Structure 1
Amino acid sequence: MNRSDAIKSIAAQASQGELTFPTNLDAALKIQRTLDDPDCHIETAAKLVLTEPLLAARTVAIANSVAYNRSGDQITNVRTAVMRLGFRTMQSLAASLVVRQFSSKITDPALRAKAAKLWEHTAHVAALAHVIARRVTHLDPETAMFAAIVHEVGGFYLLSRAEQFPGLLDSDPDDWVDNGEADIGRAVLQKLAVPDAVMSAVESLWYGFLALPPETLGDTLLLANDLAPVASPLHQRAGATSKESASTIDYAVGEGTMQSILEESADEVKSLTSALLA
């Protein structure tokens, strides 16, 4: 089966709600749903986080990152980390666990390498989106980070199905929206109950063009994606600015400039990226 036929087959299944998720995804989704509950208690959240070692380690790491630890006081336990981060950030971290679970059952070394590179790209975009939202577009940074974490979920889903569909990833990676991949990504996002505003922002990566200066959540994602030092191994956004030119774009932002903000936030971005990759 060639790539086009494979994509059409998966897209047809997705359009009917027939999505094949890893069995270990259930636990991650349970954590996400619990954190979404406004009545969830801090003790309940901490205990749930502790059931997933990867999430527990990442929670403590994020809480100790420059972005969330302005005082420099190091945290050594999950409960205190959850209190520092708050449930909004924890929802993003739970989403990161959900996204990474898609690649947990991949056995092919080449596909595993692609999945690892895709998560590295995602982590960079998430850290940049957090800073850009807070310092440039003045949007909720937690929403921006969440949108960035899920922006490649369709790609992770395709990687999780690639061993069942030989040839799925054989052709040019630049035609992401041409043969149904966007439909697959949209179906996965809907299955994961991603809010409409975040869905629209992610769709901007498939069809949109970056406005300068950036203003919307979609612009925030587009700019973070273009500035990320690690590109997606699956596709390039249509019309994307090259990394070299994106990194040299400068314009006034309040009393500073885009470049000055990126320079001032370099440690924050590095710390947050490292914590997400931990």
Structure 2
Amino acid sequence: MNGSDLALTTHALRMAEMASDTAMEFFHGRLGVAFKADESPVTQADKAVETEVRRYLKTHFPEHGIFGEEHGVEGDPAGRMWIIDPIDGTRSFLSGHPLFGFLLAHLTGGSPDLGVIGMPALKEVFLGVPGQGASLNGKPIKASGHTRLDQAILYVNEGDKLHRDHPALFDRLMQAGQTRRFGYDCYPHALVAAGHVDAVIDYDLEPYDFLAVAAVVTAAGGVMTDWDGKALNLGSDGRVVSAATPDLHAELLDLVRGD
């Protein structure tokens, strides 16, 4: 890791710690909840975390752009930019469920070259720099290496939306893998990076939902793309596949396409 990367990771981990402390001040407390136009909830905690991280970035990286879920884009997306999801899984957060996360990525030219997945209630921080490795709480992690879908632990994220919008694909997914679980948000992907889960199918995401995650999964030796097998960037359509290996990833793409 060169000096520039080390500086970025040091700052990213500091922001993850700050975000965790702020989120946990609100967790299991009384939350002011509103609903956005798409009916997704936003809490005081989302806004407080993003405001704090933005303030830090403007102090330490004033020349970089910022794209946050709650306050939008500042700066040039084609340059160096940080992307923030202050609380990934607000529905989990507001219902007292601990599997909400904090997502932070550094982008160059719209593609992630550093990612952090913070899990405040679990006291876990995943860090990934593609080409240089991934870690969990400072210890190296690696994807499982499993290559066959019929032997894989498969998570299906956003299953209710998949069932509604892609019923035939949903039916195929219910026959896939050795073990299947339903999930939401970032943590199933983090488990791919850590080697506990082999694959995740996900749907209807925004860039701040998947770019940090993609950096961590890729850094851990996994593969994460859109459903067409294309690399993820700011322009991706929000349909994603994470897998431990290229072989497993190829099987999942065939399943998604109905091949």
Q: Please confirm whether the aligned pair reaches a TM-score higher than 0.5, indicating the same fold.
A: no
Higher relative contact order (CA 8 A, sep 6+): 1
TM-score normalised per structure 1: 0.35
TM-score normalised per structure 2: 0.37
Higher percent of residues as strand:
2
Compare CA radii of gyration and give the structure with the larger one: 1
Higher percent of residues as helix:
1
